[in-house]
Amino acid sequence: MRGKEFKRLKSMLGVVLLATFLVCTMVIPTAVTAERGTVPELSEFTITHEDLSEGDVINYDWYTPNGEELWFWIEDEGGNDYEYKVVSGSSGSFEVKSNGDWYVKWSNPENTNDVELEYDVSVESSQDGDTSDVIGDLIIIVVAICVIGGIGLYYIINDYKKQKELDELKESQQTQPQSQQQPQQYQQTQQQSPTQSQQPPPPPVQGSSTQQTQQQEGKPCPDCDRPMRFVQQYDRWYCDNCEKYQ
């Protein structure tokens, strides 16, 4: 791989990694899995959210795996209760009424045992935008990755093709002078006039219509005495029986 191409690939990789990182930092906080808690017998379990602003939203989703009922409510600093209910599970959103600390609370006054709880409580800040904005950002990032990746890939492939053509051209230029030594190059270089090299030219192709050699039969072979062919292209006699020039 060439240096320029490698550099481009490296910067592409950097962009993709950065974008992936951004997506992760945005997705992971919103994809928090349920947590577990215990509401002790005749006691309370509290989740505190400090310094919320009016308009922030507390999202809650909880249930008791064993089906016990709990008292559930949301409380402000002044001890005012909201969303109060006695249930074994509940989900919803609550818009905070004032600035300050807010508490999500469960109480266990009716059970004579500790109650297990699975909950997912999160806060959406009114300043940071809501979930739909996050999804919008995600779509923009994903589209950007696709576009950048597509453009990068296009250039890399284009570059690679050009370089390959150039390499092939160079290669064919380099190998042409040595073609006499390489039988596989023979077909391509046939049209070229033979050089004055000491090495015997490759045998003529028999019955080939594209061949430029003209043949005369006559002169007997000094080795086997059979008639040889005169190959005009090389100005020599060729014995098909001995398979060599004489």
Q: Residues interacting with Zn ion, by CB under 5 A?
A: 221, 223-224, 239, 241-242
Which residue in the shown chain puts its C-beta closest to Zn ion? 221
Q: Is the dihedral of CA 115, 116, 120, 123 positive or negative?
A: positive
In angstroms, what is the minimal distance from the CB of 241 to Zn ion?
4
Q: Hey, is 126 helix, strand or coil?
A: coil
Indicate the residue among 47 and 221 with the shorter CB distance to Zn ion. 221
In angstroms, what is the minimal distance from the CB of 229 to Zn ion?
11
> Smallest Cα–Cα separation from 205: which of 238, 172, 242?
238
Measured distance CA(200)–CA(194) in Å, rounded:
10
Indicate the residue among 117 and 231 with the shorter CB distance to Zn ion. 231
Cα angle, residue 96 at apex, residues 56 and 36 outer, rounded to 5°? 80
The amino acid present at 150, given as its one-letter code, is G
Residues 6+ apart with CB under 8 A from 22: 141
Residue 14 CA, chain-centre distance (Å), reads 12
Between helix 131-175 and helix 3-30 the angle, nearest 10°, is 160
In angstroms, what is the minimal distance from the CB of 199 to Zn ion?
19
Indicate the residue among 105 and 229 with the shorter CB distance to Zn ion. 229
Indicate the residue among 62 and 237 with the shorter CB distance to Zn ion. 237
**Residue entry with tokens 């043949």:** 215
In angstroms, what is the minimal distance from the CB of 220 to Zn ion?
8
Indicate the residue among 14 and 222 with the shorter CB distance to Zn ion. 222
In angstroms, what is the minimal distance from the CB of 224 to Zn ion?
3
